[in-house]
Amino acid sequence: MELINSLAAVPDTELFTGGHGGCRGCGAALAARQAMKALGPRTIITIPASCMATIGGSGLTTAWEIPFYHSLFECAPAVASGIRAALDIQGIEDVNVVSWAGDAGTADIGFQSLTGAAERQENIIHVCYDNETYMNTGGQAGSATPYLAATPDTPAGKPTPRKDMLAIMAAHRPAYLATASVAYPLDLIQKFQRAREIEGFRYIHILAPCFKGWGIKEDQTVQLARIAVECGLWQLYEEVDGRRRVTVIPERRLPVREYLRLQGRFQTMDEATIAALQAAVDRRWQEVPS
């Protein structure tokens, strides 16, 4: 397999086309567009209730150029497991089966079928596109919502920290696990390329900002996805058989304050909390070989 190493080598074909129903500057649509460049036309995707399930169309029109199945909220990885079984029994081997869920369809409502599929080591790729809130239903807080983020139902800031989905999924010993960000498209595309070459359960977690939920401007989606990486809060890495490799090491790490202060949802966060978060990020990066 040849990894796509330059923007010029990215295929022009759009498998998630323009004309979709996403908001202006939609991070979810951006993640899908970038991922489909690596997954290619021999892909079947199943998406549970989420923004992503609705913006790609209905039964009447679609932005997908590949088979897309809109599953119930709880069961995208289970549906994907079934699709794989149906392909296997027909002897069809060259198809990527993907369940693509938001942070709710991954960490909360869809979690039981996800942990089941991971435990059975189903030969599928599960993607979590993470905007850190329940944006399709109005931005309520979920378990992936960060500490002190203001949402419609936690107006004073979420009182508890975010669930560590990467640690939970790593504990399932997947064949492949990776984080990605829409601000680093080549890194994202290469991770999908590696994932599709590996057999077994694969998990990719993409940070995909939502301007409405984060309290940013429509044109800041990519900027925030980049600063999340540059400040060290969102680490880009991959794990093959449990061995971690950090794929993007920021040359000079920005203070996490810069990331937080750009967003409307962290306005209630005080300096002491920011300092504690900075210390936690610094500790985490001490373990990374530079």
Residues 104-163 close enough to bind other proteins by CB under 8 A: none
Which residues, at least 6 apart from 277, have a Cβ–Cβ distance to it below 8 Å?
147, 233, 256, 260
27 binds other proteins (CB under 8 A): yes
Distance CA 82, CA 88 (A): 10
What is the Cα 192 distance to its own chain's centre? 12
Segment interacting with other proteins, rule: CB under 8 A, options 52-60, 162-170, 190-198, 251-259: 52-60
Question: Is 68 in contact with 45 (CB distance < 8 Å)?
Answer: yes
Structure-block tokens of residue 83: 């699709």
Segment interacting with other proteins, rule: CB under 8 A, options 30-38, 250-258, 259-267, 271-279: 30-38
Segment interacting with other proteins, rule: CB under 8 A, options 27-35, 125-133, 152-160, 236-244: 27-35
Segment interacting with other proteins, rule: CB under 8 A, options 59-67, 91-99, 240-248, 265-273: 59-67
Local structure of 284: helix, strand or coil: helix
Among 60, 156, 167, 272, which residue interacts with other proteins (rule: CB under 8 A)? Answer: 60
Among 3, 14, 137, 197, which residue interacts with other proteins (rule: CB under 8 A)? Answer: 14
- C-beta closer to other proteins: residue 179 or 220: 220
Instruction: Calculate Rg over the CA atoms of the chain.
Output: 18
22 binds other proteins (CB under 8 A): yes
| Contact string (CB under 8 A) for other proteins, positions 179-218, x = contact | ---x--x-------------------------------xx
Question: Is 269 in contact with 283 (CB distance < 8 Å)?
Answer: no
Tokens 């939609």, residue located: 26
16 binds other proteins (CB under 8 A): yes
Structure-block tokens of residue 14: 């759009």
Q: How many residues does the chain have?
A: 290
Cβ 37 to other proteins shortest distance, Å: 8
The angle, 0 to 180 degrees and rounded to 10, between the axes of the packed helices 27-39 and 221-230 is: 80
Neighbours of 102 (CB within 10 A): 33
Segment interacting with other proteins, rule: CB under 8 A, options 26-34, 43-51, 104-112, 152-160: 26-34
- C-beta closer to other proteins: residue 170 or 222: 222
Question: Is 203 in contact with 177 (CB distance < 8 Å)?
Answer: yes
Question: Is 177 in contact with 202 (CB distance < 8 Å)?
Answer: yes
255 binds other proteins (CB under 8 A): no
Cβ 32 to other proteins shortest distance, Å: 9
Site for other proteins, rule CB under 8 A: 7-8, 10, 12, 14, 16-27, 29-30, 33-34, 37, 56-65, 182, 185, 217-223
